[in-house]
Chains A and B, each alone.
Chain A
Amino acid sequence: MLYREAGQFKTTYAADQAIFPIAQDKWVVIAFAAIAFIAVPFLVNDYWTNAVFLPLLIYGLAALGLNILVGYCGQISLGTGGFMAVGAFASYKLMTSFPELNIVFVVLLSGGITALVGVMFGLPSLRIKGFYLAVATLAAQFFLIWLFNKVGWFYNYSATGQISAPDRAIFGLTVTGPTALPWVKYLFCLGFLAFFALVAKNVVRGRIGRNWMAIRDMDIAAELIGVRPLQTKLSAFAFSSFYVGMAGSLLFAVYLGAVEVTEAFSINVSFLVLFMVIIGGLGSILGSFLGATFLVLMPIMLKNAMVDGMGLLPVFAKHVEIMLMGLLIIFFLIVEPHGLARLWQITKEKLRLWPFPY
């Protein structure tokens, strides 16, 4: 009976509406945050930062953004890769045009620019739904990648078409470029993720979040109780793209340092982030992280087990990874659309009853 709400009576609506109404949840999150912010920075080295933590944090942010759109507002998008590219190229242009601009603002502004682009491509969502919207966002993906590949202005007419991030520092600590230390990069991305996860959680439990979910669950009824469909959908596109844009910015500036648009932001990235959302749990903030963690760690663990452990060929491990991913997607879509987050919730409900399961 470790996990119980017994004895925790809410005497005010404020307490009942607190972010983690159950005390144990609150302490777990606080402990987790303390470890992530205080302990991990001392432990990370180059390998852990680059192979595990940065992708996890950055894809976590992207998955969170996509989950707002797909999981909360019910609008499908296959353009995540393209929108991340917008964030990356916005950062590049901002960094090269305004060298004085602080890197924090670069990331935020890149998110803002991506939000505008997201709204533009979200406009058709008033008229088209489901499959057709998916195709429209897919078109956005291809259009954006084509644009960044073709128009030299975006990559400052560099011969290779690549963009690379100049050095930028915050509080005297270099965050971007080859000299940046692993723990600085880690903390920088973690700061963004933690702050904006909190913002997302706040928004989804207020009026705007409820309007998104109302549109998702029954758009006609939502309209009849006063939810404006276009405004609500576009706000979801904007909010979601803001997050995805920041993720693209961090992926380029902090994690990869240099990118080639067709490689780093291809349609595969769109699918990867969508799979994170599906496996993690549609309509769950926690699920976005669980999904990102799972899909970042799975290939590493498979490779460790199969290539290093059993001496199999890396190609084979890659194939197993792809098959496993496919199976998991099918499993979660059919059996548990609310993903890992829901499985976690069920476990908690069981724990609450334990040891008397009736």
Chain B
Amino acid sequence: MNAHVQPQPVPGSGIARGDVLLQVDNVSLSFGGVKAITNISFDIRKGEIRAIIGPNGAGKTSMLNVINGFYHPQEGTITWRGEKRRKMKPYEAASQGIARTFQNVALFRGMTTLDNIMTGRGLKMKKSFFWQCLHWGPALTEEIEHRRRVEEIIDFLEIQAIRKTPVGRLPYGLQKRVELARALAMEPDLLLLDEPMAGMNLEEKEDMSRFILDVNQQFGTTIALIEHDMGVVMDLSDRVVVLDYGRKIADGPPEEVQANQDVIDAYLGVPHG
């Protein structure tokens, strides 16, 4: 696989920074005749920003879908926090600490920014249906406690002004930011970002890059990032895995990957769009 010496993963939750958080081994995924992913292995270490790049249709999104349990690979295994993962539903992956954003914004369009982000807190809210009916006592205390956390995220991402706006009315760039906020509200251990900057102008990209770095550094969140803009990838990521036609063609630090001839042939050298 790759040339790095990997520290042994610690089972359970006590995974130190730099240890393997998620390991993908020999995963293959196909839809009928279409092979989306072929025999891919790589790992994501705690605390890093791991970029996944590759030309259109390379299988990047499919890879994220495998990681958060939306697709089930025909072959291969996934090891999460040192434990081999059984086939699971997306909401189970979510409850184990995996959050994501989507290539095409997937917000709850009829709800306000605040409600979208509050929905991300759902797994952490435990008060029973009975208290919910009263919206009082423990339920109200819980609601306010989580509102406070959500407001911290709102401040962090600088979206105070659109708190009460239905997200359907927001411009695209802000929608992407709200989607990041909703994922952050889950306080995930692993955050999967599928082209968080697609369709943004330069300024918006710079903002988003800063947010991603801040999330990684301030909260220590491990991030897997799909991105087409090579400048962004070089700036942000600690390690890069490159896919092409569903296969892994390179894996390593950004500079090393950038210099790799296979990668240049497959992706960097070829202008597309």
Which positions in A face B, CB cutoff 8 Å?
12-14, 17, 19, 199, 201-203, 205-208, 210-211, 213-214, 216-218, 220-229, 235, 283
Show the binding face of B for A, using Cβ within 8 Å.
68, 70, 89-91, 93-95, 99-100, 102, 106-111, 115, 118-123, 125, 127, 129, 132-136, 139-140, 143-144, 147-148, 151, 182-183, 186
Extra 20 A-B pairs, beta carbons < 8 Å, given A217-B109, A221-B107: A13-B144, A17-B143, A199-B133, A202-B135, A203-B133, A203-B135, A207-B127, A207-B143, A210-B115, A213-B119, A214-B122, A216-B108, A218-B106, A218-B109, A221-B106, A224-B99, A224-B100, A226-B91, A228-B91, A229-B91
In the complex formed, the residue of A with least CB distance to B145 is: A13
Q: How far is the CA of A205 from the CA of B140 in the complex (A)?
A: 11
Closest to A229 in B: B91
CA–CA, A226 to B95, complex, Å? 6
What are some 27 contacts across the A-B interface (CB < 8 A)?
A17-B140, A19-B135, A201-B135, A206-B132, A210-B122, A214-B119, A214-B122, A216-B108, A217-B107, A218-B107, A218-B109, A220-B70, A220-B90, A221-B102, A222-B108, A223-B89, A223-B91, A223-B94, A224-B68, A224-B90, A225-B122, A225-B123, A225-B186, A226-B91, A226-B94, A227-B119, A229-B91
Question: Lowest 4 CB-CB distances: which A-B pairs, in order?
Answer: A202-B135, A226-B94, A217-B108, A221-B106
Distance from B165 Cβ to chain A, minimum over Cβ atoms (Å): 13
Residues from chain B with a CB closer than 8 A to the CB of A203 are: 129, 132-133, 135
Q: Which residues of A contact B111 (CB under 8 A)?
A: 210, 213-214, 217
User: Complex Cα distance A224/B132, Å?
Assistant: 23
A211 near B135 (CB under 8 angstroms)?
no
Contact A214-B95, Cβ < 8 Å, known A202-B132, A225-B119, A225-B186 = no
Find out whether the CB atom of B132 lies under 8 angstroms from the CB atom of A207. yes
Q: What separation, in Å, do the CA atoms of A228 and B129 have in the docked complex?
A: 15
Query: Across the interface, do A223 and B140 meet the contact criterion of CB distance under 8 Å?
Result: no
Nearest CB on A from B240, distance (A) = 24
Contact A225–B183 (Cβ < 8 Å)? yes
* A358→B102 CA distance, assembly (Å): 36
A225 to B93 Cα, complex, angstroms: 9
Shortest Cβ distance from B132 into A: residue? A206
A17/B144 contact (C-beta < 8 A), A206-B139, A210-B111 known: yes
B87 to chain A, nearest CB (A): 15
Q: What's the Cα separation between A208 and B135 when bound, in Å? A: 11
Report how far A84 CA is from B102 CA in the complex, Å: 41
Contacts of B129 in A (CB 8 A): 203, 208, 235
Which listed residue (B102, B110, B123, B148) contacts A226, Cβ 8 A?
Answer: B123
